[in-house]
Structure 1
Amino acid sequence: MKILVTGYTGQLGYDVVHHGLQLGLNMVGIGSKDLDITNKEAVSQYVKKVKPDAIIHCAAFTAVDKAEDDKDTCQHVNVDGTNNLVEVAKEINAVFMYISTDYVFSGEGEAPLKETDEPRPIGQYGRTKFQGEEVVKQLSDKWFIVRISWVFGINGNNFVKTLLRLAETRNELNVVGDQFGSPTYTSDLAKLLIDMINTDKYGIYHASNEGFCSWADFAQEIFRKANIQVKVNSISTEEYPTRAVRPKNSRMSKQKLMDNGFNPLPRWQDAVERYLKKLTQEVK
């Protein structure tokens, strides 16, 4: 199987490509410097030349706050770019997997969100990712939409790396404690995505590591597992204003994964422990 992966220079795309290579699959990873996905003609030519059996579309405009000030670029990348890729995928009869986000939901309530719950995005990033979902459903016959949350991986920046860096000069940190969700380790997620793409169990899925926590809980666990003494003060969303509104409830039900025979990802605490060990090895 030949799989084209967009967003190779990001956290998830990097791990998807490398996991596929470990399995002996023919993986082609590309970043924005390799292909401008907003250029319809360039996308068509490139994909037809590569002729993949499947496309895993990890590339996206993910700067949530910046998206509010640069709405056009966010729209072009997340909607037009997706449209360009899906169209050519259908032409060559390739399976299309679109990586989406918890931000397609408004974040109301406390119950875990199901795949069938109605998306109500509250910011430009979430709106464009949901529009991307709609494009995939309309244009492709063989599609997966996988919504993920709170991503961390070896390649690129993330919450874990930021906290470890801050801990070098701070012994106390304020972290939001009233937004809840599930961290997602890209190494774990990559294995699931490759498993999924080799099936015809198409549809919308939620995928993240098992268990729920707040950002403050997440921070405390990171420092505990890293054996770093930093006091974490749990604060409200209102005490930490941001340009874009964040959903307070990003808990997602992963029941559909299990109903379709896919293994759930390990618990998020276990993922943090393994990730920190890998980070230490990378430094060495």
Structure 2
Amino acid sequence: MKILVTGAAGQLGRELLLMLQAAGEEAVGIDRAELDLSRPERVAEGIAAQGADWVIHCAAYTQVDKAEEERELAFRINRDAARAVAQGVRASGGRLLHVSTDFIFDGAQSRPYREDDAANPLGVYGQSKWEGEQAVREVLPEAVILRTAWVYGAHGHNFVKTMLRLAAEREELRVVDDQVGTPAWTADIATAIRALIGAGASGTWHFTNEGVASWYDFAESILGLGRELGFPVKARGVRPIPTSDFPTPAKRPPWSVLSKRKIRGLLDHDIPHWRQSLERMLKEIL
């Protein structure tokens, strides 16, 4: 079985590609240099030419704040190119797993979001990803849509690495404590993706690690575990602040915990708690 991973230079795509190849799968990756998603008119042909049995579409426009200024580009990549990827998969007779986000929800409720809850994005990034999901479903109703959140890993740029860098430079960090969700380690997401492929799944699924945290909770654990493991941590601690003290161009959902009840029934292992996976990731990069 041939598996094609888009966004292979990104943090999730890189993790998944390495995991698949280590498991002996025929997995190939393409990145922006080989597949320019900002030119959707060329994407379908490029995908179809690969002749993959499964395409895992990890590539996306993910700059949440910048998307407010670059609306056209965000929609071109997250909606139009997603549709083109699905068209290419359909043309080659393969299957598609499309990675999406918790940002399709507005965060107004207080229970974990289920796969069938109504979408109501708060900004351009979330809206472009939601319309991308819809475009994929229109072309390939049997496609897998996998929503995840608060992604971090050993590859690429992410919140964990930013906190470690700032903790080595500053006496104190200030992090918002009124946005709540669940971190997701790329290695655990990649494992879930392999399980979905192996089961021949279809439809919409959610995956993050277990547990709930604010960004402040996450930052505190990063510094605490980082200090224990020997990272250069200068900061004495983290100060919790409200979102209003850290204004950004894009509005974030205050509650973006995703329900994992559906995918728990598919996996043959317990989903690790986010603190457990954070420690494993820190040991990996150390």
Deviations 1:195-222 (A, max 9, x none): 2112222111110011010000000111
Shift of 1:124: 0.2
Q: Select 1:279's aligned residue among 257, 282, 285.
A: 285
Residue equivalent to 1:58: 58
8 A contact 2:189–2:208 mirrored in 1: yes
* 1:265 counterpart SS class: coil
Shift of 1:61: 0.4
Q: Distance in 2 between matches of 1:187 and 1:83?
A: 27
* 2:256 counterpart SS class: coil
Q: Distance in 2 between matches of 1:119 and 1:33?
A: 32
The farther-off stretch of 271-280 and 251-260 is 251-260
Shift of 1:259: 2.9
Shift of 1:264: 4.6
Alignment of 1:176-191 (within 5 A): 176-191=176-191
Residue equivalent to 1:223: 223
8 A contact 1:79–1:131 mirrored in 2: yes
Alignment of 1:178-217 (within 5 A): 178-217=178-217
Alignment of 1:10-89 (within 5 A): 10-89=10-89
Shift of 1:274: 0.5
The farther-off stretch of 86-95 and 51-60 is 86-95
- Which stretches in structure 2 are left out of the alignment for 5+ residues? 228-232
8 A contact 2:195–2:267 mirrored in 1: no
Structure 1 counterpart of 2:252, one-letter code: R
* 1:35 counterpart SS class: coil
Determine what percentage of the aligned residue pairs are the same residue: 38
Alignment of 1:119-268 (within 5 A): 119-227=119-227, 228=233, 230-261=236-267, 263-268=269-274
Structure 1 counterpart of 2:98, one-letter code: Y
Q: Distance in 1 between matches of 2:208 and 2:268?
A: 13
Shift of 1:262: 5.3
8 A contact 1:171–1:230 mirrored in 2: yes
Q: Distance in 1 between matches of 2:214 and 2:157?
A: 19
Deviations 1:129-183 (A, max 9, x none): 0001101111104311111100101111110100111111212111000000000
Structure 2 counterpart of 1:53, one-letter code: D
8 A contact 2:97–2:143 mirrored in 1: yes
8 A contact 1:112–1:250 mirrored in 2: yes
Shift of 1:38: 4.0
Q: Distance in 1 between matches of 2:268 and 2:116?
A: 18
* 2:205 counterpart SS class: strand
Q: How high is the TM-score relative to the length of structure 2?
A: 0.95
Q: How high is the TM-score relative to the length of structure 1?
A: 0.95
RMSD: 1.3
